[in-house]
Structure 1
Amino acid sequence: MDDLDRWRLVLGRYAHEQLGESAGEEERRREEALDFLYQREYAGRDVRGPDDTSSDDGPGLPELVAWLDGVRELFPGSTAEVVERHALERYGLVELIGDPDVLARLEPSPALLATVLALREHLAPEVLDVVRELVRKVVEELTGRLQLDVRRALTGRRSQHRHSPMKVAANFDPRGTIRRNLRHVDPRTRQMVLADVRFFERNARHLPWDVVLCVDQSGSMYSSVVHSAVMASILSALPAFRVRLVVFSTEVVDLTPVVDDPVETLMSVSLGGGTDIARAVGYCAGLVENPARTVLVLVTDFQEGGSRRDLVRQVKRLAESRVRLLGLAALDKDAKPSYDREMAARLAACGMEIAALTPDRLAAWLTEVTS
């Protein structure tokens, strides 16, 4: 970003006449995001531009949620946190988030959930019951959508030789069904009556692996935290896995005792703050009992606020001990990464695979590395 772009961000719409509009789409979106908030500073001083069509009533909560989501996408974590703090403390937009009636009427979504959890410390105690119900609804929706795909990927492939009495559509055997029902074809209508529908059995896979999910709960990782909590719960229900869940900012919190309850997990996280990845990886290294049967999944934007040298050293040591390492720059339905590529490249050189995955692709990756 050059100096001219910085001045455009400072001046907002009032820069257009003298400096011209931004050439790039992302720069334009940054300007609009900042103007959405800081135009209130001008309005408070009775300064309005000729094209000022903003409403004195302010934004509604859906608009605010979308704006917060955009701020986290467009700006580095530290900048996004400053902007959010101004929105809450200087301009009072937290009142929208803190209205239990408004929250209860909104359609639950991961984006709304991430916003509410990030602002939870600003909310009155009477709002927390509504927040918990919101968490429950989002978790149930995500779990229902992901559970079947994840379990199918991790519990085995279909057996082409054995059939099962369990009628699961994904295991339907069309050829076997036709063979079993050839004698039920009506010669006149040439229609087959399916008296015996066949379904494949799935081969059980025994994977004595420990899975450590180490999740960054800093500002840019909100959506990934939500999906990580749901994934940890699904994985923990599979008997061949022992799942540990660790979340971190500058502090490290082990949420393994509630790993099977994603609602409680998400109510326990404290989104935002700094990032000390090295400290978190060091803690997870202490959980490793059998390196050759351990997978460490680090979900982070790799924006190390602690010792970069210590982080590289920790990852290298784990790789040398034969722990399988995966660094995820994003774990959500979109898998759109925004991360420190230089730091990620250094960790990749030490033996950590780097990717941005949707939850079902993470399950496929686990299947590959533990086969």
Structure 2
Amino acid sequence: MSGQDERMRRWRLVLGGGDADGTGCGLEGMDVRMDAALAAVYDDRDGRQGGLGASAPRVARWLGDIRTYFPATVVQVMQKDAIEKLNLTRLLLEPEMLEAVEPDVHLVGTLLALNKVMPDQARESARALVRKVVQELERRLAQKTRAAVTGALDRSARTHRPKRVADIDWDRTIRANLKNYLPEKNTVVPSRLVGYARRQRSVQREVVLCIDQSGSMAASVVYSSVFGAVLASMRSLKTSLVVFDTSVVDLTDQLHDPVELLFGTQLGGGTDINRAIAYSQGLITRPANSIFILISDLYEGGVRQEMLRRVAAMTEAGVQVIVLLALSDEGAPFYDHENAAALAAMGVPAFACTPDAFPDLMAAAIERRDIARWAERHVGTGA
């Protein structure tokens, strides 16, 4: 495209089309979608007003579009203009709308994306809605997660030399010795005991959740925050939660309240995975008993080779490294296939995981099962 054609294209996007724009320039492909996103807010030709429709899902789609087509600084301006010009604050505050719309993870993502430009009154209403969604997710996921993690910790602590009678698992001991059944005595002679090691009151595993907070990861950020809060409530785990874009923020001290944690995130921006991994390495004190979970689409804006080197160093030190391309119900994610393949070559598969499968994934990690094989059976690998 010549310089003149590019200038005309930009003027066409600015002027909005129609007989009066004078450019005579048509739009194709992504430009058509960019034009529609701009028109939703700025198209007031012939007395018409832009609009996104009176529905939160349509607003959510529009927010996703502008994050795709425009840089972060422009997105922030467009969000602020949309709130002022189209009265989206009123839309998000209307009791009728909040009662009619089923609060879900996607709506939470919309509210979090608007957080930095949202007036105080709207923010309080948004916080209440986010809390409702978070509480529902906790009711759905917490018990399953605690049961899976506790069971895995118990299984990993099994021993064939229990020190006390109280530590013997009689059910498993009997099943393991059925071949020693004596019919004349009507009894089983246990030649091998199965029991539990002394239950440890100290931390048994360190878990670090490292979450990409770029705009495309909104649902994953919500689910990760809920799971992080559940894991942090278990004394047998030391759980840390880190979010990142081009900078890194440690939100571990907010794990007691996932709603506050979510409002501490900032969706959008660039991505520096290498920097986030470097910070996370400093949180790990017992590599052989640590699980590092990176949740990212792997589009690296930092130093790619250094990122891969750090992952390799963690695995060599004994850390169980897991890479999730998404933690959501949104289906197959977009991700950097080259980086996913490089990780898989190091024995670290990258795959998307649904929230319902995550508790079993944690159990597999605690028991140090083959995560690649687990992913093939449960979710299918991304790489």
Does the 8 Å CA contact 2:215/2:269 hold for their aligned counterparts? yes
Structure 1 counterpart of 2:259: 263
CA RMSD of aligned residues (A): 3.6
Supply the AA of the counterpart residue of 2:260.
Answer: E
- 1:212 and 1:56 mapped to 2: Cα distance? 44
CA drift at 1:205: 8.6
Query: What SS does the aligned partner of 1:98 have?
Result: helix
Structure 1 counterpart of 2:334: 338
- 2:252 and 2:105 mapped to 1: Cα distance? 22
Structure 2 counterpart of 1:358: 354
Q: 1:244 to 1:42 in 2, by over 3 A?
A: closer
CA drift at 1:236: 1.5
Does the 8 Å CA contact 1:217/1:249 hold for their aligned counterparts? yes
Supply the AA of the counterpart residue of 1:129.
Answer: E
- Where structure 1 has 5 or more consecutive residues not aligned to the other structure, the ranges are 1-6, 15-19, 48-53, 163-202
Structure 2 counterpart of 1:60: 54
Does the 8 Å CA contact 1:155/1:204 hold for their aligned counterparts? no
CA drift at 1:244: 0.6
Structure 1 counterpart of 2:205: 209
Q: 1:68 to 1:35 in 2, by over 3 A?
A: same
Q: 1:69 to 1:110 in 2, by over 3 A?
A: farther
Query: What SS does the aligned partner of 2:234 have?
Result: coil
Does the 8 Å CA contact 1:230/1:262 hold for their aligned counterparts? yes
Structure 2 counterpart of 1:292: 288
- 1:343 and 1:280 mapped to 2: Cα distance? 16
Q: 1:234 to 1:96 in 2, by over 3 A?
A: farther
Does the 8 Å CA contact 1:210/1:243 hold for their aligned counterparts? yes
The answer on 1:327 being equivalent to 2:323 is: yes
Does the 8 Å CA contact 1:247/1:253 hold for their aligned counterparts? yes
CA deviation profile, 1:63-103 (whole Å, cap 9, x unmatched): 4334236538xx85x74757744642555577544235327
CA deviation profile, 1:328-355 (whole Å, cap 9, x unmatched): 1100133432111111212222332211
Q: 1:320 to 1:295 in 2, by over 3 A?
A: same
Q: 1:101 aligns with which of 89, 93, 98?
A: 93
The answer on 1:301 being equivalent to 2:297 is: yes
- 1:137 and 1:304 mapped to 2: Cα distance? 34
Q: 1:136 to 1:40 in 2, by over 3 A?
A: closer
CA deviation profile, 1:184-220 (whole Å, cap 9, x unmatched): xxxxxxxxxxxxxxxxxxx999781111000011111
Does the 8 Å CA contact 2:208/2:240 hold for their aligned counterparts? yes
CA deviation profile, 1:120-162 (whole Å, cap 9, x unmatched): 1111122221121112101011111112222232222899949
CA drift at 1:367: 1.0
Does the 8 Å CA contact 2:44/2:50 hold for their aligned counterparts? no
Supply the AA of the counterpart residue of 1:154.
Answer: V
- 1:216 and 1:116 mapped to 2: Cα distance? 18
Structure 2 counterpart of 1:200: none
CA drift at 1:361: 1.6
What percentage of residue pairs aligned between the two structures are identical? 36
Does the 8 Å CA contact 2:52/2:62 hold for their aligned counterparts? no
The answer on 1:313 being equivalent to 2:305 is: no
Stretch deviating more after TM superposition (307-316 or 279-288) = 307-316
CA drift at 1:323: 0.6
TM-score (norm 2): 0.69
CA drift at 1:369: 2.4
- 1:90 and 1:105 mapped to 2: Cα distance? 21
CA deviation profile, 1:222-244 (whole Å, cap 9, x unmatched): 11000000011111222221111
- 2:198 and 2:264 mapped to 1: Cα distance? 34
- 2:40 and 2:63 mapped to 1: Cα distance? 19
Q: 1:56 to 1:98 in 2, by over 3 A?
A: closer
- 2:122 and 2:364 mapped to 1: Cα distance? 43
Equivalent residues in 2 for 1:163-174, closer than 5 Å: none
Q: How many residues align?
A: 305
CA deviation profile, 1:102-133 (whole Å, cap 9, x unmatched): 27742322111111111111111222211211
